[in-house]
A and B are shown apart, each in its own frame.
Chain A
Amino acid sequence: MEKIMPAKDRLLKSGKNGLGNEMRGKVLVILCAVIMISVTISITIFLGTKGLQSFIKNGVSPIEFITSTKWNPTNKANPEYGAFPFIFGSFAVTFLSALVAAPLGIGAAIFMTEIAPSWGKKILQPVIELLVGIPSVVYGFIGLSVLVPFIRENIGGLGFSLLAGTIVLSIMILPTITSIATDAMSSLPKSLREGSYALGATRWQTIRKVLIPAGLPTLLTAVILGMARAFGEALAVQMVIGNVRDLPSSFLDASATLTTIITLNMGHTTYGSVENNTLWSMGLILLIMSFVFIILIRYFSSRRKMQ
Chain B
Amino acid sequence: MSENILQVRNLEIYYGDKRAVNGISMDVEKNAITALIGPSGCGKSTFLRTINRMNDLIPGARAEGEIIYEDLNLLSDQMNVVALRKEIGMVFQKPNPFPKSIYDNITHALKYNRIKKKSQLDEIVEESLRKAALWDEVKDRLHKSALSLSGGQQQRLCIARTIAMKPTVVLLDEPSSALDPISNAKVEELIIELKKEYSIIIVTHNMGQASRISDKTAFFLSGDLMEYDVTEKIFTNPSNQKTEEYISGRFG
Contact = CB atoms under 8 A, between A and B. Distances in A.
A14 B79 CA distance: 10
B78 A12 contact: yes
Interface in B161-185: 166, 168
A8 B79 contact: no
Given A7-B70, A7-B71, A7-B72, A12 B79 contact: yes
A11 to B, nearest CB: 5
A74 B57 CA distance: 64
Question: Which 10 pairs across A and B sit closest by C-beta, in order of nearness?
Answer: A7-B70, A13-B80, A12-B78, A11-B83, A7-B72, A17-B83, A11-B84, A17-B80, A13-B78, A11-B80
B227 interface: no
A11 B80 CA distance: 5
B72 A19 contact: no
Contacts of A11: 70, 72, 79-80, 83-84, 87
24 contacts: A3-B166, A3-B168, A7-B69, A7-B71, A7-B72, A8-B72, A10-B83, A11-B72, A11-B79, A11-B80, A11-B83, A11-B84, A11-B87, A12-B72, A12-B78, A12-B79, A12-B80, A13-B78, A13-B79, A13-B80, A17-B83, A19-B80, A19-B82, A22-B82
Nearest to A1: B166
A116 B84 CA distance: 56
Contacts of A12: 72, 78-80
Interface size class, chain B: 10 to 19
Most buried by A among B72, B78, B80: B80
Contacts of A133: none
Chain A interface SS verdict (over half): helix
Given A10-B83, A10-B87, 5 more contacts: A7-B72, A11-B72, A12-B78, A17-B80, A19-B82
A182 B159 CA distance: 45
Nearest to B77: A13
A56 B87 CA distance: 67
Interface string B45-76: 00000000000000000000000011110000
Contacts of A18: 82
A296 to B, nearest CB: 30
Interface string A39-59: 000000000000000000000
Contacts of B166: 3
A192 to B, nearest CB: 32
A147 to B, nearest CB: 51
Contacts of B87: 3, 10-11
Interface string B81-101: 011100100000000000000
Interface string A1-45: 001000110111110011100100000000000000000000000
A117 B195 CA distance: 57
A10 B87 CA distance: 10
A89 B20 CA distance: 61
Most buried by B among A7, A11, A12, A13: A11
A158 to B, nearest CB: 61
B86 to A, nearest CB: 9
Contacts of B70: 7, 11
A15 to B, nearest CB: 10
A96 B168 CA distance: 71
Interface in B6-61: none
Nearest to B84: A11
A12 B70 CA distance: 12
B35 to A, nearest CB: 26
Contacts of B78: 12-13
A27 B166 CA distance: 32
A23 to B, nearest CB: 12
Contacts of A7: 69-72
Contacts of A13: 78-80
A10 B83 CA distance: 7
Nearest to A9: B83
Most buried by A among B70, B83, B84, B87: B83
A22 B87 CA distance: 19
